[in-house]
Amino acid sequence: MHQQSTFDFPQKTSYAIEEFIVTGANNLSFQKICEWPSSWSHAAYPYFLLLIGPKQSGKTHLAHIWAQKAEAKFLSKVSNISSNVIVEDISEKDEKDLLGIFNMCNEAKKYCLFTSSKFPDHFKLKDLVSRLKSIDVSYINTPDKETIKVILSKEFASKSLQIEPKMISLVADLIPLNFHSAYKAVNILNAESLNTNKPINAGLIKKLFLATTP
């Protein structure tokens, strides 16, 4: 029986637009990014977009796509705003810094992309919360099983692993339907295959994931 080869080469992350997997879960957000600036049209604060999605759902990839398109810079603290900017994971950022960035972008009429895994409703600065509630928000939804299969196929291919479609379907059946679990499953299977010098087959998949299935 043919066994797929496994190679533990370092993987360089590519944020090219052609590498982004467009699915039903992220299609609207992808359009928002690609059709900027016409797609950013919220009347109150037209220069802002808050991109919300689960962990490893592609927010950073979309941010890099927009960065190239809008010539935007990644920003973490208040500084002089001379270009369009991106602030990732805003729920973990200092509120005063965020409010400062918001106000400077708004005054300078520079576009700003915020990302977060959830809406930061824990913030205590009322002015900041009010502004965030008044900007355009785009959601990346929880993936369905077909989306998970697409992600698994791409990740296996990126590691030079040729996996049969029925094995990919089996993995999708046994893991939670979220982005993080899909990426984690590929890494676990690749590592186990390398360590044991065994192919990724139904037996290995069930051994690793059947017991952890809810």
On whether residue 20 sits in a domain, the answer given is: no
Q: Write out the residue range of the structural domain in which residue 78 sits.
A: 27-139
98 and 32: one domain? yes
- Claim to verify: residue 131 and residue 205 sit in the same structural domain: no
Domain boundary among 139, 161, 180: 139
> What's the total number of domains in the chain?
2
Q: Are 156 and 186 in contact (CB under 8 A)?
A: yes
- pLDDT band per the 50, 70, 90 thresholds, residue 77: confident
- Helix (H) or strand (E) holding 49, with range, is strand 48-52
Same domain for 62 and 133, yes or no, is: yes
Do residues 61 and 128 both lie within one domain?
yes
111 and 152 co-located in one domain: no
Q: Quote the tokens at residue 165.
A: 């479609």
**Pair 148, 98 in one domain:** no
Last residue of a domain, one of 113, 139, 165: 139
Q: What pLDDT is stored for residue 76 in this prediction? A: 77
- The full DSSP string for 157-173 is HHTT----HHHHHHHHH
Spell out a b/e string for 152-165, using b for 16 or more CB atoms within 10 Å of the CB, else e.
bbebbeebebebee
Within a domain: 2: no
33 and 127 inside one domain: yes
The verdict on 160 and 97 lying in the same domain is: no
CATH code of the domain containing 194: 1.10.8.60
pLDDT tens for each residue of 100-159: 999 999 999 999 999 999 999 899 999 999 999 999 999 999 999 999 999 999 999 988
For residues 34 and 114, state if they share a domain: yes
Residue 8 lies in a domain: no
Same domain, 101 and 183: no
Task: Give the 3-state secondary structure of residue 88.
Answer: coil
Instruction: Specify the pTM.
Output: 0.81
Residues 49 and 72 in one domain: yes
| Residue 138 near residue 51 (C-beta atoms within 8 A) | yes
Q: Are residues 93 and 180 in the same domain?
A: no
Structure confidence at residue 162 as a pLDDT band (50, 70, 90):
confident
